[in-house]
A and B are shown apart, each in its own frame.
Chain A
């Protein structure tokens, strides 16, 4: 298993539990997860709904905290962070891409991309310059001043990707990035994400679509809050895609 022999892991989950209590029922959404992710990996997290992949996504994205166990982000234990440090971690280390784009509807594409930089106290002209570059990088240099509802789904997701990347985060966290797109646009977006990976971006993607997971180099499959399989997707391990993913397909 490749763990990035030279650079230290970006993400280390050590025996992580996330427990929800509903009345007298205790539910382990994550049930002892151990994962290490190195810099420049391209990872798919797959699993059926309820398998805990969203919970893991939230924990990796510093939106949620583990009930038990340690999460080290760039060597720092997230469990020890206060609210402000968590927000800073989200701002600097994580770039989110969501299935439903989650753009600020009243702000133009440019302003959406500028927004994360506000929380870094970067002056406005500088923000504008950096955001413009990010939008040009995803091929939207000519639609910067459009509002989200004036853009197509693919374009919106490009804006979201530009926004996620504008602060040069350690990790790009994509949650079903093609879930709301047609197949042609999905291919375009995946091509873009592939390209970002080639440029050196660490990418973690949650998906239940096998052909999307195929893009990734490593696939982590979750089932009932545990890692079911964790394998490289270099074609040598063909059992992977017929396994848990097959169940999800229907």
Chain B
């Protein structure tokens, strides 16, 4: 411990004595760590925000959607969820509430909309009355649909604020009519603003009563819907999932070996695929950074080798004064490690700054977020680089013969 402290002290003195060179030496490490922290902070900020948004869905909600394996898609046989499936679930499964169908308009899920001379495309979604409570969206103007709207398939809708802007509709648009496809539809509510995510607007959508949406899309067609519901008791979520699965398998006539042609997903599962992407980005950037740390490490080894040669006489003196091989080894190893760690520290600070700057400059971008593991990992990596690339110069220094070293000019 004593030797370690002394080595650190002497390392810091040596680094300070060659300030500019030390800076250049650790620049590779600084840049490497800076880029990883910048990327990770941005990506994690994103992930953090998106996960927070999904958690607004409520942890106890379940979404059932149809699922067609790619092979079946090629054969043109698409699995579907139908009204009957929803009614079956509502009837046969207890411990659930707020069951609501969701139907997206066909063809890219974007519907053509127009108002006076303005036209645009928007996501048109048909929903049941429970949708608001499950998803936590509420109208800021006007009202939401009633069961009556749904039953009578009234052409009424609630829109996101961006729809009003895109169609250049007046601020108070309640009661105005605009066209969805070929149908005229009356605005009865405007949903409160959700803002942007990644520069993508979150308020460009039209909500229709489920019955109305089916009417617009053609009531006779065999439409594929999604089913959203809330589980009353969070602890029974898995049980409910399993029961839904059994009911639907039976209803769809699947044999015991067949895969499910639907998926029952929790909000966590919805974010899981997104998180996979995030993790891939993080891993790729970590790989790139690994390379730059490698390059930085080689730079440090190079300078340390030069430094050992340059300080041959000093090493001889230290040995004459009683330094053992181990003392010398430690001194140079710790010096390389300290260089790396300082580089890592500066890199983390700069990377965080850079990430915050980028996040602040891109409109609609979530705040940068540096998780502790990234910092810890960076430091660990720096220390490892210091050891790996410091060991060769340090061993070289330790092996020097004191007589030769003292004679060295």
Binding site for B on A (CB under 8 A): 58, 61, 63-64, 83-84, 87-88, 90-92, 96, 98, 102-107, 115-116, 118-121, 163, 167
Specify which of B13, B323, B406 is in contact with A87 (CB 8 Å cutoff).
Answer: B323
Which of A103, A107, A115, A167 has the largest number of chain B CB atoms within 10 A?
A: A115
When A63-B403, A118-B6, A121-B3 are in contact, do A102 and B324 touch as well, CB less than 8 Å?
Answer: no
> Does A61 contact B14, Cβ atoms closer than 8 Å?
no
Specify which of A58, A64, A83, A116 is in contact with B321 (CB 8 Å cutoff).
Answer: A116
> Does B403 contact A58, Cβ atoms closer than 8 Å?
yes
> Does B314 contact A87, Cβ atoms closer than 8 Å?
no
The complex places the Cα of A98 from the Cα of B313 at a distance, in Å, of 12
Q: Residue-by-residue, is B50-76 near A (CB-CB < 8 Å gives 1, otherwise 0)?
A: 000000000000000000000000000
Q: Residue-by-residue, is B200-225 near A (CB-CB < 8 Å gives 1, otherwise 0)?
A: 00000000000000000000000000
> Does B14 contact A102, Cβ atoms closer than 8 Å?
no
**CB-based A-B contact count at 8 angstroms:** 60
Which of A87, A90, A104, A121 has the largest number of chain B CB atoms within 10 A?
A: A87
> Does A102 contact B317, Cβ atoms closer than 8 Å?
yes
> Does B317 contact A104, Cβ atoms closer than 8 Å?
yes
B406 to chain A, nearest CB (A): 7
Given contacts A61-B320, A87-B323, A90-B319, 16 further A-B contacts (CB under 8 A): A63-B320, A63-B402, A84-B324, A87-B322, A87-B324, A91-B322, A92-B322, A102-B316, A103-B317, A104-B318, A106-B14, A106-B17, A115-B318, A115-B321, A119-B321, A167-B322
Is the C-beta of B325 less than 8 angstroms from some C-beta in chain A?
A: yes
**Number of B positions contacting A (CB below 8 A):** 23
B196 to chain A, nearest CB (A): 56
Q: Residue-by-residue, is B300-318 near A (CB-CB < 8 Å gives 1, otherwise 0)?
A: 0000000000000110111
Which residue of B is nearest A88, CB measured? B322
Which residue of A is nearest B405, CB measured? A63
List A contacts of B2 (CB < 8 A): 121
Is the C-beta of B327 less than 8 angstroms from some C-beta in chain A?
A: yes
Q: Residue-by-residue, is B323-341 near A (CB-CB < 8 Å gives 1, otherwise 0)?
A: 1111100000000000000
> Does A104 contact B314, Cβ atoms closer than 8 Å?
yes
> Does A102 contact B323, Cβ atoms closer than 8 Å?
no
The complex places the Cα of A162 from the Cα of B3 at a distance, in Å, of 23
List A contacts of B316 (CB < 8 A): 102
> Does B406 contact A102, Cβ atoms closer than 8 Å?
yes
The complex places the Cα of A116 from the Cα of B320 at a distance, in Å, of 9
List B contacts of A91 (CB < 8 A): 321-322
Which residue of B is nearest A122, CB measured? B2
Which residue of B is nearest A86, CB measured? B324
A-B CB contact pairs (8 Å), 19 listed: A63-B403, A83-B325, A84-B324, A88-B322, A88-B324, A90-B319, A91-B321, A92-B322, A96-B320, A96-B321, A102-B313, A102-B320, A103-B317, A107-B13, A116-B321, A119-B321, A121-B2, A121-B3, A167-B322
List B contacts of A92 (CB < 8 A): 322
Binding site for A on B (CB under 8 A): 2-3, 6, 13-14, 17, 313-314, 316-327, 402-403, 406
List A contacts of B14 (CB < 8 A): 106
The complex places the Cα of A96 from the Cα of B313 at a distance, in Å, of 14
The complex places the Cα of A16 from the Cα of B144 at a distance, in Å, of 106
Which residue of B is nearest A106, CB measured? B17
The complex places the Cα of A106 from the Cα of B321 at a distance, in Å, of 16
The complex places the Cα of A92 from the Cα of B313 at a distance, in Å, of 21
The complex places the Cα of A118 from the Cα of B6 at a distance, in Å, of 7
List B contacts of A107 (CB < 8 A): 13
The complex places the Cα of A64 from the Cα of B2 at a distance, in Å, of 28
Which residue of A is nearest B398, CB measured? A83
When A64-B403, A102-B406 are in contact, do A90 and B320 touch as well, CB less than 8 Å?
Answer: yes
List A contacts of B327 (CB < 8 A): 87, 119
The complex places the Cα of A172 from the Cα of B340 at a distance, in Å, of 41
A191 to chain B, nearest CB (A): 25
The complex places the Cα of A119 from the Cα of B325 at a distance, in Å, of 12
List B contacts of A88 (CB < 8 A): 322, 324
B271 to chain A, nearest CB (A): 54
List A contacts of B318 (CB < 8 A): 104, 115
List A contacts of B322 (CB < 8 A): 87-88, 90-92, 116, 119-120, 167
List B contacts of A102 (CB < 8 A): 313, 316-317, 320, 406
> Does A98 contact B324, Cβ atoms closer than 8 Å?
no
List the 6 closest pairs (A to B, CB-CB), nearest first.
Answer: A91-B322, A87-B324, A119-B322, A116-B321, A106-B17, A121-B2
The complex places the Cα of A104 from the Cα of B323 at a distance, in Å, of 14
A62 to chain B, nearest CB (A): 9
The complex places the Cα of A61 from the Cα of B402 at a distance, in Å, of 11
List B contacts of A61 (CB < 8 A): 320
B333 to chain A, nearest CB (A): 16
Which residue of A is nearest B313, CB measured? A102
The complex places the Cα of A12 from the Cα of B323 at a distance, in Å, of 24
Which residue of A is nearest B327, CB measured? A119
The complex places the Cα of A221 from the Cα of B218 at a distance, in Å, of 118
A26 to chain B, nearest CB (A): 19
> Does B6 contact A83, Cβ atoms closer than 8 Å?
no
The complex places the Cα of A223 from the Cα of B24 at a distance, in Å, of 52
List A contacts of B324 (CB < 8 A): 83-84, 87-88, 119
Which residue of B is nearest A167, CB measured? B322
> Does A163 contact B406, Cβ atoms closer than 8 Å?
no
